[in-house]
Amino acid sequence: MAIIIAAVLLVLLGGLESLPASADVFCDNVKLVAAALPKNTSSSPVHFAATAFGKAPGVVYALALCRGDVVNNTACGDCVTNTFQKFTVPEQQQCYQEAKYFGDPCFVVYSAYNILGPSNATEESGHDIPWVKWNEKNVTSEVDLVVGLTQKLLVETVERAATATPRRFATGVMDSGTAYRWCTR
C-alpha cells in the first residue's frame, strides 16, 4: 500500500513541474516576432529593434539591426522579413530554437534564451565578457605606424559619427598611407 501511495505522490508532484513549451507554441511566437520586428526595425530612427514575446517557457527573444548606411526604411524592413523566411523550414513545419544572420544589410537574431539581458559568461575577474571578434592576422612590420593610424581612424570615425544625425553612423577606411575615405549617414 505504501508503494502505491508513493507512486501516486510522485505522479502528482511530477505534474507540478513546468513542462517545456511545445514546439508549436514556440514556433507560433517566432512567427509573431517575425511579423512585428521588420516594421519595428524599419520605423526606428536608428533601424534597431528588440523584443521578447510570449510567456515562459515558450518566450522568444529577438533583435534586428540594419546597417547605419541603410537609409531606406523599406529596404531595412524587407531584409529583416527575408531573413526570418530563411530561418523557417517550411517542408518540415518546424522552427529553430535559435537563429542568427549577419549579412547585408541587416543583422537578425532570435533565441529561446534571453539574449537581451546581461551575459551569464564571466571572466575570472567577474565582469561580463563582451562580444568580441578578433582579427587573427598579425602585423609583422611597422607596428607603430599601423597602431597610430588605427587609433587616428577610430577617433576620427567616432567624431564623424557623433555629428551624423539621426543615426550616429560613420565608417572609415584606411590604407598603409594616411588617406582616409568617409561615409556618414
What are the pLDDT digits (tens) for 21-70?
A: 467 888 899 999 999 999 999 999 989 999 999 988 889 999 999 988 88
96: domain CATH number? Answer: 3.30.430.20
- Between residues 122 and 154, which one has the greater pLDDT? 154
- pTM, two decimals, is 0.59
CA distance 83 to 179: 36
Is residue 149 domain-shared with residue 75, that is, in the same domain? Answer: no
Is residue 86 domain-shared with residue 159, that is, in the same domain? Answer: no
**pLDDT score, position 149:** 81
Tell me the average pLDDT of the chain.
Answer: 75
- Highest average pLDDT, of 9-18, 85-94, 173-182, comes from 85-94
Residue 138 within any structural domain of the chain = no
Name the amino acid, one letter, at 152: K
Identify whether 90 is preceded by a cis peptide bond (ω within 30 of 0).
no
Residue 94 carries which DSSP code?
A: B
Residue 50 within any structural domain of the chain = yes
Bridge partners for 50 per DSSP: 63
**pLDDT score, position 8:** 34
Residue 117 within any structural domain of the chain = no
Do 99 and 34 form a contact (C-beta atoms < 8 A)? Answer: no
CA distance 168 to 138: 31
Name the amino acid, one letter, at 120: N
pLDDT band for 15, please (50, 70, 90 cuts).
very low
**pLDDT score, position 14:** 34
CA distance 30 to 127: 31
Residue 63 within any structural domain of the chain = yes
Q: CA angle 164-167-178, nearest 5°?
A: 45
- Residue 178 in grid coordinates: 594616411
Alpha helix ranges (H) inside 63-173:
73-87, 143-163
| Region 156-167 average pLDDT | 85
Range of the domain at 170: 143-184
Weakest mean pLDDT among 34-43, 111-120, 176-185: 176-185
- Residue 167 in grid coordinates: 543615426
Name the amino acid, one letter, at 173: V
CA 166 to chain centroid = 21
Residue 175 within any structural domain of the chain = yes
What is the tens place of the pLDDT at every residue in 116-147? Answer: 876 555 544 455 555 455 556 666 667 777 77
Bridge partners for 101 per DSSP: 108
Is residue 24 domain-shared with residue 107, that is, in the same domain? Answer: yes
Element holding 170 (H helix, E strand):
strand 170-174
Residue 8 within any structural domain of the chain = no
Q: How many domains, the chain?
A: 2
